[in-house]
A and B are shown apart, each in its own frame.
Chain A
Amino acid sequence: MSKAGHIFLSLALLLAIGSCSTNQAASDEIRVSAAASLSDSFEAMAVAFEAEHRGVEVVLNLAGSSTLREQILGGAPTDVFASANLSIMNEVADVGAVGGEIEVFAMNQLVIAVPAGNPGGIDGLEDLADDGLLVGVCATGVPCGDFAREALAKAGISAAIDTEEADVRALASKVAIGELDAAITYLTDVAGNAELEGVAIPAADNVVATYPIAVLADAPNPDGGAEFVAFVLSTAGRSILAAHGFELP
């Protein structure tokens, strides 16, 4: 083989080795997969945690809980999983992918999110049956989507749904820019957002979402993961969650 060929091949091998080594996460890195509805609160959480633990970096992976479940079951290196409902966490636990204790750290409620000023004139769940309004929910299988259907079923309303979004953040942002007249989201999605208003869903129809968190069995950095979970459950963590509108256990 020519010299150039040698160099070429060595380079290719180096690249291959390099890409393998990134699988072994450094101990100063904690990978957290969190439900989309936790986006704002966990970003704040990560900042606060990193401030207490110098040199440690929290890498957040935010998506619909069911998407995260697929990633975890597919082998994506993850230390901590925070889901938006218990059943998805249980599905992960059922295959033995959860390493530590499953802890419930926050609760959330549903609300009808409407654009600021409520141009659609939404008063309650019964308005979501109006064909003339653009109404969105989360897709089936995503916690907020399952909860929304549960709430609609309790209220006995057959909503005229125009879109089933893949996660609650995408849903909320389409309401915020006024493309949807109403959507069933979490209270926390509306709480910190000036572009959104919440129309309350009566307690009788409402669903309480429970957020469990756990360190995963295949966590590359289980100690870091445990530290992060402890922080979320600590007073500091609880106050961050409360500030973002979550109810606490």
Chain B
Amino acid sequence: MSSRARQRSPLVLIILGSIGVVFFVMPFIGLLGRTPWRDLASLLGEEIVLDALTLSVVTSLAATLISALLGVPLAWLLARVEFPGRTLVRGVVLTPLVLPPVVGGAALLFALGRRGLLGEPLFDATGLVLPFSTWGVILATTFVAMPFLVITVEGALRNMDRRYEGAAATLGAGRWKVFWRVTIPMISPSLLSGLLLAWARAFGEFGATITFAGNLQGRTQTLPLAVFVSLESDRDVAIAISLLMVAVSLLVLVAMRDRWWRPT
């Protein structure tokens, strides 16, 4: 009785929603249909795949770590400190969310490249070249990924009940202790989902990476770059890598299911 009553959703919504489902499922079916299943194991064992997988894991985790290290304080500034131009700063920080990653990569090249605004003095002083290096990959992915963390954590900092911080202060806790023992634990669900979003974005990053860091197997060729390059040389490898990325993404999403997107 009650389950029949609950099914009375508008028909239009059911139709359009189903089209939406098909829209998302079709590409995966397409990918699975083209997968060379028999050779999959040996394809995934190829050096280009293993190199890219290692590099992707290392750089995406490094980008997530840097995003946390800089992004949480940045979110704090935006949420808690009144300063002139705060809105502008927030706008700039969140721009990579809408900017085509290629543009971000090019902008990084102009700023931090060997002939870039900051990169040139850095190169002259230390001989350090960021583009075409693994650090360049980390930099490019951090640039694209960190805004996801900042926007999530800033919202959490604004929404949290700040009276808990006051309560901690009356118990003798200084600002640093309040931050670590009260603020961070209380925003941890948002922090966690911010980290996950940033990681996911970093893991799938392509445009900024290939533009700023270039493409070299073992040094700057992450999984998405390897897919793109293999599409032109060895399509089966490209499909195998794509499948690998889908699997890793699903794994992470399922693992985080209860903390992040809560099914009811």
Contact = CB atoms under 8 A, between A and B. Distances in A.
A1 B213 CA distance: 55
Contacts of B213: 163
A140 B233 contact: yes
B235 to A, nearest CB: 8
Interface stretch (A46-54, A98-106, A123-131, A171-179): A171-179
Interface stretch (A4-12, A19-27, A34-42, A225-233): A4-12
A161 interface: yes
B229 A136 contact: no
B230 to A, nearest CB: 8
A29 to B, nearest CB: 26
Interface in B185-231: 210-211, 213-217, 219-221, 228-231
B232 A142 contact: yes
B114 A178 contact: yes
Contact of A12 (B10, B16, B234): B16
Interface stretch (A62-70, A198-206, A211-219): A62-70
Nearest to A142: B232
B16 A64 contact: no
B99 to A, nearest CB: 18
A113 interface: no
Nearest to A70: B231
B115 interface: yes
A5 B14 CA distance: 12
Interface in B210-264: 210-211, 213-217, 219-221, 228-235
Interface residues of A, number: 28
Contacts of A111: none
Contact of A179 (B114, B220, B229): B114
Contact of A162 (B12, B110, B115, B214): B214
A81 to B, nearest CB: 15
A139 interface: yes
B10 to A, nearest CB: 7
A141 interface: yes
Contacts of A9: 12, 15
A8 B15 CA distance: 11
Interface residues of B, number: 31
B131 interface: yes
A80 interface: no
A164 B231 CA distance: 14
Given A134-B129, A179-B114, A166 B229 contact: yes
B214 A177 contact: no
Interface in A174-190: 174, 177-180
A1 B12 contact: yes
A164 B12 contact: no
A179 B109 contact: yes
A163 B10 contact: no
Given A178-B115, A179-B109, A67 B232 contact: yes
Contacts of A162: 132, 214, 216, 219
A5 B110 CA distance: 51
A164 B214 contact: yes
B252 to A, nearest CB: 27
B114 A139 contact: no
Nearest to B133: A162
A174 B213 CA distance: 11
B5 interface: no
B215 A66 contact: no
A164 B219 CA distance: 11
A163 B214 contact: yes
Interface string A137-180: 00111100000000000000000011111100010001001111
Interface in B3-43: 10-12, 15-16
A69 B115 CA distance: 35
A1 B11 contact: yes
Given A142-B232, A170-B210, 18 more contacts: A5-B11, A9-B12, A9-B15, A134-B114, A139-B232, A141-B229, A161-B216, A162-B214, A164-B215, A164-B221, A164-B229, A165-B215, A166-B210, A166-B215, A177-B109, A179-B131, A179-B132, A180-B132
Closest 5 CB pairs of A and B: A163-B214, A141-B233, A66-B232, A141-B232, A178-B115
